[in-house]
A and B are shown apart, each in its own frame.
Chain A
Amino acid sequence: MTIELLAVIAAPALAAVLAIAFRRQPLVQVVAAAAALLLQLILLALVADGQYSFTIELVLRVGPVERFFIAAADIPIVAALLYHAHVADEGRKFVAVAMFCSAAVSAVALVGDSFVAAFALLIASVAIAVGLVDEPLRVAETPAGSAPLPPVRPFAAALRYLSLSVFSAVALGFALILLARYSSNPDQSGLLKVTFAFLVVGLALRLGAAPFHLWLPSLLNPARGSGLLGMLTVGALSGAATLFAAHTLLDNPPLLLQDQFGRTAASAGALGSAILGGLLALGQGERRRRCLAYLFISDAGLLLFGLVSGTASGFSASLAAALGYSLAAPLLLLSFNLIDGGSLIARAGLLLGGLTLVGLVPTYGFAARWLLYTAAAQLGLGWLLAALTAVLLMLAAATRSFVPLLFDTAQPTSRPSDRLCLIMIVMLGAIIILLGIYPAPILDQISGWVTARGFLP
């Protein structure tokens, strides 16, 4: 069984290497990627729950939550690959980048060593940064009469993302080293506080919570074309980062139990970050992609709040919301890319994606958000009011930026190549509504996984 689990990580990594080797043959790239993702899902279904040791150091673990996260990460990856193949060429290395992301998510979910998981996230970020500068040259538009200039924005975005990813990996690495030190000598309460601080900063950088969010708006910037790399980052890697945090915090109970002040400060900071993100989103107005980025930034604050709140409901809320990213990110970005054609399906996709991100009925987002409200109420009325303020700001920002698009009177001008994307939007929307009406299968598994550890109230 260990070999099968290793193959879950190795299959997409091998497909990435093949995609680089056959970068001038898109058919080989797509076939290898599809085969790898299919193999990954089949193997994951075949392996029984439990822990498996390959060597003394390499321990792999699999359970329902790990399966959910790997399968969910494949949704934005498949959506991005289909969009890349049929609508917008994102560069010859795009398939490889997507496959590296899939391998990284699998490694984070399955490998027991948190150090290796943190490095896997960094490897995916390095691949995304290369993908950013590798996109086909799109000549930036300049005022009439002057010659067009090739854009240099992708370099700035890549550098920003790469630098902050290294900061995040170093912060998480320091936290894990100090945690190992604390485990060998649990009398050092000061060390635990520093460890928790490094962990929270590393996670905030990785999730893009304000004020560590500088990389996220650049990834979804319209100057960068369709924003597929942003879709991979938000849709797949944010979920992996949340699972990494859940593994680390649940495997080391003292982090949440023994540092009451640190937990309160981190919770307050996370909610402050969500409110700040909401305010920044509200200020974007017509700049809709930036508004979308700030909505994700605000939501990252809420994700972080759930993780550091020290309650079982908060933990479940963050894990459930991170799973929702896998549906909301591709739905929103695909809808954005097609809405200029006046498509009704794209408008409906935008509406559903927005409702999921904000967390309103009848979407899956509401189910996750309800758990978060429960966690905040468990901590006190002030926390609940702060969480509600952040969500209301997100709602106001989304209404201000996106509602005019929904009532745009442009005539539909759908191209044949768009049809596949429209089908994807319909499928994603249907899943979001179905899970919104009946979220129990996912939420029960997540809540069961969290409460099984037994130390969170």
Chain B
Amino acid sequence: MPNLIAPGLILTGVLLVLLRDWRLTIPALLAQYLLLGLLISITLPADLRLGVDLNSSALIEAATGLTVTLLFYLTARAAVRSDITSQTYAGQELDEFQQAALRRQQRRVNRDAVEARANRRAIVGEYLLPVAALLICATVAYSLSQLYPLGQSLLNDFSFYWVVLCGLFTLLLAHDLIKISLGLMTLLNGLGLLLANLGQRPGLLVEGTQAAVAIGLATALSYLWLTLHARLRSLNLDEVLRGDD
């Protein structure tokens, strides 16, 4: 089992960079959290005796992962089902001019999406760039694990650098708000991975704060998804960044 953790973490990184469908990427993030919990339970001594020996840090990591991914999953499902009405924005009623403006903006987003799907080169580009990014990740992660070894195992060092780089590339290549959110959560997971690889235990206060921050960040990101989707019926970043200085 311990030998499967690092390859598992590497695989979750691949899925997060490569795929766009939230039904696959959100479970990949959950798997990353659970694997991180497993790694912590192996590297740090157990401190809880509840019938079986357990590690509180690993439990906190797993509980945080479950909460974060559940929040993301429910929000993404609500957005896709369009449970959020575009008649309101941030709790305020819109007049008919504002609603017309919203509809126009939504039509433009839909038109752009259809055009993008029709463009075959765009589909090739959809996977070409992430695959190139993964190759860069692999090269850089391998070099860093050789130059700056952190823990006892080369594979664990590689998986730490790999996960952090995948988080960065997920952010850089993101086309929608969901991918941005997954990239940010992956970057935060880098902190837990570094601690686990170094065999350090920062204490319950720090672990609790880190978990609270991760859940708070996930809640805020979910709120951004819903607010944006209520206005544009899309989570596409191109529309958000269009015209921004």
Contacts and interface: CB of A to CB of B under 8 A. Distances in A.
Same assembly: yes
B210 interface: yes
Given A119-B210, A147-B104, A155 B91 contact: no
Given A156-B241, A156-B244, A115 B209 contact: yes
5 contacts: A119-B210, A126-B220, A149-B101, A153-B244, A180-B202
A169 B90 CA distance: 28
Given A136-B90, A150-B89, A166-B187, A126 B97 contact: no
A402 to B, nearest CB: 20
Contact of B190 (A137, A155, A170): A170
B217 A166 contact: yes
Chain A interface, DSSP helix/strand/loop, else mixed? helix
Contacts of B90: 91-92, 133-137
Most buried by A among B171, B213, B231: B213
A181 B198 contact: yes
Interface stretch (B25-33, B62-70, B75-83, B221-229): B221-229
Contacts of B212: 119, 123
A412 interface: no
Contacts of A217: 245
A173 B191 contact: yes
Interface stretch (A65-73, A77-85, A157-165, A226-234): A157-165
A167 B231 CA distance: 28
Interface string A304-328: 0000000000000000000000000
B126 interface: no
A122 interface: yes
A248 B1 CA distance: 39
Nearest to B191: A173
A348 interface: no
Interface of A: 55, 57-58, 91-92, 113, 115-116, 119-120, 122-123, 126-127, 129-130, 133-137, 139, 147-150, 152-153, 155-159, 162-163, 166-167, 169-170, 173-174, 177, 180-181, 190, 194, 217-218, 221
B203 interface: yes
Given A55-B205, A116-B209, A155-B227, 15 more contacts: A57-B204, A126-B216, A130-B224, A133-B224, A136-B92, A137-B94, A147-B97, A163-B171, A166-B184, A170-B188, A170-B190, A173-B191, A177-B194, A177-B202, A217-B245
Nearest to A176: B202
Contact of B240 (A91, A130, A159): A159
B206 A139 contact: no
Contacts of B97: 139, 147-148
B91 to A, nearest CB: 7
A122 B213 contact: yes
Give the dominant DSSP class at B's interface.
helix
A171 to B, nearest CB: 10
Interface residues of B, number: 52
Interface of B: 89-92, 94, 97-98, 100-102, 104-105, 148, 171, 177, 180, 184, 187-188, 190-191, 194-195, 198, 200, 202-206, 209-210, 212-213, 216-217, 220-221, 223-224, 227-228, 231-232, 237, 239-245
B184 A137 contact: no
Contacts of B92: 136-137
B231 to A, nearest CB: 6
A123 B213 contact: yes
Contacts of A150: 89, 98, 101-102, 105, 231
A153 B203 CA distance: 40
Contacts of B240: 152, 155-156, 159
Closest 9 interchain pairs by CB? A156-B244, A57-B205, A173-B191, A115-B206, A126-B220, A57-B203, A155-B240, A119-B213, A119-B209
A174 B204 contact: no
Nearest to A191: B148
A126 B217 contact: yes
A57 B148 CA distance: 30
B200 A177 contact: yes
A170 B205 contact: no
B224 A174 contact: no
B206 A116 contact: yes
Contacts of A119: 209-210, 212-213
A119 B207 CA distance: 11
A134 B230 CA distance: 12
A153 B244 CA distance: 6
Given A115-B202, A166-B217, A92 B224 contact: no
Contact of A162 (B191, B220, B227, B245): B220
B191 A174 contact: yes
Contacts of A139: 97-98, 101
A155 B195 CA distance: 33
A111 B228 CA distance: 36
Nearest to B228: A155
Contacts of A122: 213, 217
Nearest to A157: B244
Contacts of A113: 203, 205-206
Contact of A130 (B98, B148, B223): B223
B101 A148 contact: yes
Nearest to A107: B209
A384 B234 CA distance: 52
Contacts of A123: 212-213, 216
Contacts of A133: 90, 223-224, 227-228
Given A133-B224, A166-B187, A180-B200, A152 B242 contact: yes
Contacts of B244: 152-153, 156-157, 218
A152 B101 CA distance: 12
Contact of B243 (A57, A148, A152, A173): A152
Contacts of A136: 90, 92
A235 B200 CA distance: 36
Contacts of B242: 152
A133 B232 CA distance: 14
B220 A116 contact: no
A137 B98 contact: yes
Given A91-B90, A126-B216, A137-B92, A152 B231 contact: yes
A287 to B, nearest CB: 9
A163 B180 contact: yes
Contacts of B89: 137, 150
Nearest to A55: B205
B241 to A, nearest CB: 5
